[in-house]
Structure 1
Amino acid sequence: MSADDDTSWDEDVRVAVYRAFAERGRPPTTPELADAAHGSLAVAKQALRRLAEQRHVVLDAREQVAMAHPFSAIPLGFSVMGERTLWWGGCAWDAFAIPHLVKAEPEVLVATRCRGCGQPHALLVNDRTPPKGGLVAHFLVPTARMWDDVVHTCGNQRLFCGESCVDGWLAETRQDKGYVMDLPTLWRLAAGWYEGRLDHGYQRREPAAAAAYFRQAGLSGSFWGL
C-alpha cells in the first residue's frame, strides 16, 4: 500500500494535531506528525490532506495546519490565556469553546477588540456559567457558506460593544447583517460543540444533529439552516 492509500493512521494524526494545540497552543512539529503516522512523514502529510477534505483541519498554502477548531495557528482577533497555556482563538465561537474542551483549563481570559470601534475587551470565560456583560457577537457568514472560505468566516465571527457598533461596522464595510447573539447564547453555542474532539473516535455532526444543537443553544432562523 502506498502512502497515498494508507488511511489507517488518519485518526492518530488528527488526535496528535488536536492534542498539540490543546496542550501547547500550537500545531505539532514535523517529527511529532511523523511519530503519529508510525514514523512516516509522507503518511502524515497524506493524512492531513484527507483530514482537511473532511473538514477536521484547515491547511494553509504550504499545507501546514492553520486551524483545528477551536484552535488556530494564526491570529484572527482573539487571544485565549489559561493558567498554563496561551492560544489563538479562531473566532468568538472558538475562543469561548476552549475552556469547555480543555478540561485542564476550565477558565480562560479571552482578549479581543470590538470590531466596530476598536474598544479593547477582556472576559473571563469558564465551563460553568456564561460571562456577564452587554457585548454581542456578530456572525457574518451563514452556516451554509461557512466552509466556502473558513478563514474569512472565522475572521468575521467577532465581538462588538453592542448592536450600534455592529450596525456602524456593517455600514462602513457595506456588508449585510448576519446574526447577532448575546454572550449567554454564544456561551451555550460553544459549550458542547467540540465535545470529544481531543479523543479517538470523534465524529463530526450530521446536519440534522447540528440543527438540533443550534436550537438547544437558542439559535433560530435560516442563517443556521433552521
Structure 2
Amino acid sequence: MTSDHEALRLFVYRSLATTGRAPSPEELTARFGPGARAALRALHDARHLVLDADDNVLMAHPFATIPLGFAVMGARTLWWGGCAWDSFALPHLLPGEPGVLVSTRCPACGAPHAWNVTRDAPPPGDQVAHLLVPVARMWDDVVHTCGNQRLFCGEACVTAWLDRTGGDRGHVMDLPTLWRLARHWYDGRLDPGYIRREPAAAAAYFREVGLSGPFWGLSGR
C-alpha cells in the first residue's frame, strides 16, 4: 500500500475504535482529497476493509457498521460486533477498553446471552461458537461468513439451527477456544504499518490456539 492508503486505513480504523462509526466516503474525500474513493477500493481489494457498492465501509475487522448478531459495549462506546470472533477480539485490540460486554441471542432458540469479555481470561459459560464457512472460503462472501459466526446455547441448538437452515456443520468451539482465537488475531491493526497475516502465519496461529483440521486448512481431525 502507498502511504496515502495507510493514512486512510488508520483513519478509518481509529474512527471506528473511538466512536463506533466509520467515516463516510464524502468525509474521507473532504479529508484526503479526490483519491479517497480509489484508496478505499484498494484497501477493499487488499482485504483491509469491506465496502458496499457505494464505497461505504461495512466492515473493518474486528469492527462492523451493520448489525450481524452482536452488540459490544465499552465504557463509553457501543460497537456492532462483526461476529463471535471479532466481538471477543475487541478488548484485546483497544487499549482503553480492558473489558467489554458482548451480547447476542442464540440463533436457534432466541435465548439472550451476554459475557464480560476481558484480556485476563475467558468468560465463564457453557455456550459454544459455531463458524459455518471454512477458512479457505471465508472471503468469498465475507459478510455472509461473519453473519454466520454465531454463539449458541450449546450443541443441541447448533444442531437444531443447522437442521432448520439446511446448512452443513462447520466448526464448533467452546468459549475458552474462541477467546484464545480472538486474543491476538488483530494485534497491531490500529498501528501504522500493519501487515495482514500470510496463510502460513495464519495456519501457525491457528495451531497455537489449539485448532486443527481441514476447516482451518490444517492437517489432523
* Normalised TM-score (structure 2): 0.96
**Partner amino acid for 1:33?**
L
Q: CA deviation at 1:29?
A: 4.1
Query: Which of 3, 7, 10 is residue 12 of structure 1 equivalent to?
Result: 7
Match of 1:52 in 2: 44
1:138: Cα distance to partner? Answer: 0.1
Check the 8 A contact 1:60/1:66 in 2, yes or no.
Answer: yes
Counterpart amino acid of 1:22? A
Question: CA–CA distance in 2 between the matches of 1:56 and 1:129?
Answer: 28
Structure 1 position 173 matched with structure 2 position 168: no
Report the CA distance between 1:31 and its aligned residue: 6.1
Contact kept? 1:12, 1:36, Cα under 8 Å: no
Task: Classify 1:124/1:20 alpha carbon distance in 2 versus 1 (closer, same or farther; 3 Å).
Answer: same
Please show how residues 1-226 of structure 1 align to structure 2 within 5 Å: 7-30=2-25, 32-34=27-29, 37=32, 40=33, 42-226=34-218
Aligned residue for 1:18, secondary structure, equals: helix
SS of structure 2 residue aligned to 1:9: helix
Query: How far does the alpha carbon of each residue in 1:110-143 deviate from its partner, in whole angstroms, 9 at most, with x for none?
Result: 0100011110001100111100110000000000
The question of whether the paired residues in 1 share the 8 Å contact of 2:25 and 2:56 is answered with no
Structure 1 unaligned segments of length 5 or more: list them: 1-5
Structural RMSD (CA): 1.3
Quick one: percent identity of the two aligned structures?
66
TM-fit CA distance, 1:36 = 5.2
Distance in 2 of aligned mates of 1:50 and 1:25: 23
* TM score, norm. by length of structure 1: 0.94
What CA distance in whole angstroms lies between the structure 1 residues aligned with 2:67 and 2:38?
26
* Alignment-derived partner of residue 3 in structure 1: none
Residue 61 of structure 1 deviates from its aligned partner by 1.7
Measured in 1, the distance between the counterparts of 2:125 and 2:114 equals 11
Contact 1:13 1:36 in 2 (8 A): no
In structure 2, C-alpha distance between the alignment counterparts of 1:219 and 1:7, rounded to whole Å: 35
Instruction: Indicate the SS of the match to 2:202.
Output: helix
Cα distance in 1 between the residues matched to 2:83 and 2:184:
16
d(CA) in 2 for partners of 1:164 and 1:224? 23
CA contact (8 A) 2:24 2:56 kept: no
Tell me how far apart the structure 1 counterparts of residues 37 and 25 of structure 2 sit (CA, whole Å): 10
1:68-107 alpha-carbon deviations (Å, 9 max, x no partner):
0000000000000000100000000000001100110110
Is the 1:127–1:191 contact (alpha carbons within 8 Å) kept by the matching residues of 2?
A: yes
The unaligned stretches of length 5 or more in structure 2 are none
Q: Deviations over 1:172-218 (max 9, x none)?
A: 11111000000000000000000000011000001010000001111
Amino acid at match of 1:208: A
